[in-house]
Amino acid sequence: MVFALAAAFIFSSYGWKMNRLYLDPYQHGLWYLGVSYILVLLLQDTYFYFTHRLFHHHLLFPLFHQGHHCSRYPTPLTSFAFDLPEAIVQSFFLIVVVSLIPLHFFTLLAILITMTIWSVINHLGIDRLPLTFPHHWLGKYFIGTAHHSLHHLKHNANYGLYFTFWDKILGTEDPKYQEKLGRNQATKEH
């Protein structure tokens, strides 16, 4: 409901000329469609990492994020289980980003679709996809089912949304994740 209200506000604010959404794909050049998509995913991942990690603080967890962690073993429905304050904070990102960054409507739609599909995949649970998904040579830099399942089991690691780099840089990636991934890759190569 919160995300639907945020989307309604975003589209209404377009009519009121209060955001930077645009319709003409050539307004900033076709190349910009892809660049703005990647930029927003990077910004959203950063925003999500730091807010998500903050929501795990013992004083904030019960109010902001505990409902999501009722699923120790996540399912696709877990990806939509937000506590109201967390949903407000996460939807705020989209409202701000369309106010600051020129985005084509299709780029915004692609971001929303990516966000939804990625979240569902991350919450499939390790019993629904192989441990290696999506962890091939490039995929180890992306959050996948195994990475996020460890977060639900431990609560103190693996906070990212799309990419693993904040967890790697700030030392919050579960060390056993890399061990399991390395063993699985070695088995796969032999």
**Per-residue model confidence as pLDDT tens digits over 29-45:** 999 999 999 999 999 99
The model's confidence at residue 7, banded by pLDDT at 50, 70 and 90, is confident
Domain of residue 130 covers 2-189
| pLDDT of 145 above 60 | yes
What is the count of structural domains for the chain? 1
The model's confidence at residue 6, banded by pLDDT at 50, 70 and 90, is very high
CA distance 97 to 141: 24
CA distance 55 to 90: 11
Residue with tokens 């945020």: 6
Kindly report the pTM of this predicted structure.
0.88
| pLDDT of 17 above 70 | yes
For the chain, what is the mean pLDDT?
Answer: 87
